[in-house]
């Protein structure tokens, strides 16, 4: 077939995540044996990740943990939603139940609520950036060009390596989609936009 890469998605926290982890781990091992690259979409899916009326599916700490699990499965590139909040672990703790060991300093000393810091936290969970992070451009809507450029800048300044735009570009008239993709490329080609 001429393939050079294998891509897969794990919905961490879902009912099927255990099976997905096992199957994708085996597929990635085989792909690497064949000299192929592996890309893993590390998404969260669990109703418990919504607490007190807030959705933590795009929290830096929870998505960072998903990224870490993804890199331990030997993904060469991690694709993750752009983080928009933090504190998911703290929010989903229930009584004595714990989803992971946390230290309050990870919220007070290691990261701020600034979008670049939140991406930096995701990158840190990718073996300190040794495994590349690409963020998604989000759903298509108003101001897609501005949102895509902003997301690309945040990703690049946070240490990420790219952006998948998907619907933002491909659900548009051809010329408009190309303009959006070129604007994203310009961010990554611009040496003046550096890691913060």
Note the pTM of the prediction, 2 decimals: 0.93
Taken in order 23, 5, 172, 59, is the CA torsion positive or negative? positive
Residues with a catalytic annotation lie at 79
* Residue 83, both tokens: 């983080």
Q: Say how many C-beta atoms besides its own lie within 10 A of residue 117's C-beta.
A: 18
What ranges do the domains of the chain cover? Answer: 5-136, 138-196
pLDDT digit string (tens) for the chain, length 196 residues: 789 999 999 999 999 999 999 999 999 999 999 999 999 999 999 998 999 899 999 999 999 999 999 999 999 999 999 999 999 988 887 666 666 678 889 899 989 999 999 999 999 999 999 999 999 977 788 899 999 999 999 999 999 999 998 888 998 999 999 999 999 999 999 999 999 9
Domain 5-136: CATH superfamily is Aldolase class I (3.20.20.70)
- With both helix axes pointing from N to C terminus, report the angle between 115-124 and 60-72 in degrees, rounded to the nearest 10: 30
Taken in order 11, 13, 15, 18, is the CA torsion positive or negative? positive
State how far the Cα of 85 lies from the Cα of 67, in Å rounded to an integer.
Answer: 16
Residue 158, pLDDT score: 98
With beta carbons less than 8 A apart as the criterion, state whether 152 and 187 touch: yes
Three-state secondary structure call for residue 105? helix
């Amino acid at each position: 077939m001429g393939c050079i890469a294998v891509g897969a998605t794990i919905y961490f926290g879902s009912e099927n995540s255990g099976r997905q982890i096992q199957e994708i781990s085996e597929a990635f091992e085989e792909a690497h044996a064949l000299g192929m690259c592996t890309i893993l979409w590390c998404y969260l899916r669990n109703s418990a990740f919504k607490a007190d009326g807030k959705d933590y599916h795009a929290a830096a700490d929870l998505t960072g943990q998903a990224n870490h699990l993804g890199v331990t499965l030997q993904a060469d590139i991690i694709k993750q939603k752009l983080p928009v909040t933090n504190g998911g672990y703290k929010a989903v703790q229930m009584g004595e139940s714990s989803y992971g060991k946390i230290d309050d300093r990870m919220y007070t000393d290691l990261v701020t609520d600034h979008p670049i810091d939140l991406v930096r936290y995701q990158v840190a969970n990718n073996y300190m950036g040794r495994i590349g992070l690409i963020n998604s451009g989000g759903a298509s809507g108003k101001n897609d060009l501005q949102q895509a450029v902003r997301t690309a800048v945040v990703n690049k300044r946070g240490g990420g390596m790219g952006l998948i735009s998907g619907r933002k570009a491909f659900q548009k008239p051809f010329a408009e989609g190309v303009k959006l993709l070129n604007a994203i490329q310009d961010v990554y080609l611009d040496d003046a936009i550096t890691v913060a």
